[in-house]
Amino acid sequence: MTHRDLAQKRVELWRLRPDLAPNDEKEIREFIKLAGFCYTYHIPKDAIPSLIQTISGTVTSNTWNTYPQQNDPYQEMLNETFRTYHKQKLFVEVGVFGKHPVIVYRDVFARLYRIIGSDVRGGYLSRRKRNTQLENAILSFLQDKGAATRKELRLSVTKPRKKDGNELSKALDSLARQLKIIRIRQGNVIDLQWITPEHWNPQLCEEAVTLDRDEAIEFLILRFVKTAIATSRKALKRFFKHIIPSEFLDLTLNSLIQRGLVVVDPELIIDGKRALKTR
């Protein structure tokens, strides 16, 4: 495989042409299910798609590197997607991968929750930090209320000081990074709410804790490689750096290669190394 081949395959799989772009929210749902995870608006360097690129059917989109604009037809299609599937809880936005929200399908979410979101812990993957007083206040409020906007949280759990907005943002980011809270939207950018995973989908969380942790990690790595079509060990570590420790990712990836579930491409070079892909 050459870089040109990879680019063409991504255009087709990620639907980055006007004639391949989704026509309605059902096709968007099917794309999210296929990809497993994709950025909402961010145009990524990592090897997963951006949903807004797929909706617009373009490889690049300068407009969507910033906050989405109102009255945009692509935004309206995205809003309708969330409105249609909000009650079905098929996918959700998470903050565990960094500062840009990533939409994950329910099977991917279950594996993430098993690894870092639940109280089921195991050895070297347990790297929890102690919550701050504000973080505990946010969790307590959400556990009682169920879901809340940022404004509701600011009025309920912070003191009226100038720095409270910044402190609240840091607390929300910290909790989202640990999968203690997730973002949901009723169908509009201004309708963003925070909720605990257990309130969002208690049945899925209960199912997730019964999964085998090591198999969950393998599932996420394989899903990423498949969605990327071809990628690198370095890209995997970048994407999962807040979830899977580097040394454990190496061990898991080596096992997948030894078992033939991930193979090394003899021609394609990514990040200075021969690329990895699924068989």
How confident is the model over 8-30, as a mean pLDDT?
91
How confident is the model over 217-243, as a mean pLDDT?
94
Domain limits, CATH 1.10.10.10, in the chain: 110-208, 213-279
Q: What percent of the chain has pLDDT over 70?
A: 85
Q: What is the pLDDT of residue 46?
A: 62
How confident is the model over 31-59, as a mean pLDDT?
84
Closest CA to 139 of 87, 182, 99, 203: 182
The pTM (predicted TM-score) of the whole model is: 0.88
Q: What is the pLDDT of residue 129?
A: 67
Q: What is the pLDDT of residue 234?
A: 93
How confident is the model over 251-277, as a mean pLDDT?
94
- The larger pLDDT score, comparing residue 165 to residue 215, is at 215
**3-class DSSP assignment, residue 266:** strand
What band does 128 get if pLDDT is binned at 50, 70 and 90? low
Half-sphere exposure of 23 (CA within 13 A, CB side): 2
In CATH, the architecture of 110-208 is Orthogonal Bundle (1.10)
Does the domain at 213-279 match CATH 1.20.58.100? Answer given as no
- The larger pLDDT score, comparing residue 64 to residue 6, is at 6
Q: Is the pLDDT of residue 243 over 60?
A: yes
Q: What is the pLDDT of residue 61?
A: 52
Q: Is the pLDDT of residue 247 over 80?
A: yes
* Mean pLDDT of all residues belonging to the chain: 85
Q: Which H helix or E strand runs over 27?
A: helix 25-35
Q: Distance (Å, rounded) from C-alpha 236 to C-alpha 248?
A: 12
158's CB contacts (< 8 A; 6+ apart) are 134, 164, 167, 168
Of 16-25, 62-71, 92-101, 162-171, give the lowest mean pLDDT range. Answer: 62-71
Of 89-93, 108-112, 161-165, give the lowest mean pLDDT range. Answer: 161-165
Of 127-136, 213-222, 264-273, give the lowest mean pLDDT range. Answer: 127-136
Q: Is the pLDDT of residue 202 over 90?
A: yes
- The larger pLDDT score, comparing residue 174 to residue 83, is at 174
